[in-house]
Structure 1
């Protein structure tokens, strides 16, 4: 039995070392981790139900888990592809999109739950606000990308 508990402890130690290494290497993971801890601690002082607290923690763990998975994917690809590759870029972009997707989910949870607790927002206002965020940011992103591409096309064609 002692041997099994040593293996379990070693597994946990290895897992924590992996998280620690990822935190040292990845700026975005540090940011999400810090924000997650701050929100988790702050949430303890709000009048939240257990269900609401569970959603907040689920959102935090989801974003950090997505960041860890993104780090694994990036590091794994870097092991095998030293030179630039469009395919590798696509996979890395999709992995980053995965993190973004969960980050948006966390924003939605934060607005719906923390907005109600902090600002006494009605559920209908929170839904309206969330809808605005979910519509505005993707549209804004598309607009910015198109604007940047137009600028690049103008420069490459000699400004014509």
Structure 2
């Protein structure tokens, strides 16, 4: 095991997270994550519910990171408009939209009954 190489890998990974956080959409996801965590604390989610919320929030973040990486790679490959690159970017953004919609549905399933019970 090469510890210095492994530590450098972590350094690069944190740099990637920093790059991601410069993106407007990632900042929205950060805001949404904070709202979800605070709401979860407020309504008292169970361990199972926290696990589900954590997985779905993580999937949204991973999708956003891949979307950002794909967009940056596409911009590097061609600065001019190209129909195929446009489709790649659209597909990547669509993946984020799909998992985000699923996250909203799961959020409604988990949070709505708890919120209604506290009214």
Calculate the TM-score normalised by the size of structure 2. 0.90
Task: Give the Cα–Cα distance (whole angstroms) in 2 for the partners of residues 47 and 94 of structure 1.
Answer: 36
> Match of 1:22?
20
Question: Which residue, 106, 109, 122 being the options, matches 2:106?
Answer: 109
TM-superposed CA distance for 1:49, in Å, is 1.5
RMSD of aligned Cα (Å):
1.7
Task: Give the Cα–Cα distance (whole angstroms) in 2 for the partners of residues 12 and 38 of structure 1.
Answer: 28
Specify the SS of the correspondent of 1:102: helix
Q: After the TM superposition, which parts of structure 1 deviate over 3 Å for at least 4 consecutive aligned residues?
A: none
Matched, 1:46 2:43: yes
Specify the SS of the correspondent of 2:43: coil
Calculate the TM-score normalised by the size of structure 1. 0.68
Task: Give the Cα–Cα distance (whole angstroms) in 1 for the partners of residues 113 and 15 of structure 2.
Answer: 37
Task: Give the Cα–Cα distance (whole angstroms) in 2 for the partners of residues 17 and 38 of structure 1.
Answer: 25
> Match of 1:75?
72
Task: Give the Cα–Cα distance (whole angstroms) in 2 for the partners of residues 39 and 94 of structure 1.
Answer: 26
Contact conserved, 1:70 with 1:95, CA < 8 A, in 2? yes
Give the structure, 1 or 2, with the largest relative contact order (CA under 8 Å, sep 6 or more).
Answer: 2
Task: Give the Cα–Cα distance (whole angstroms) in 2 for the partners of residues 62 and 33 of structure 1.
Answer: 13
> Match of 1:13?
11
Unaligned runs of at least 5 residues, structure 2 = none
Unaligned runs of at least 5 residues, structure 1 = 122-160
How many residue pairs are counted as aligned between the two chains? Answer: 118
Specify the SS of the correspondent of 1:45: helix
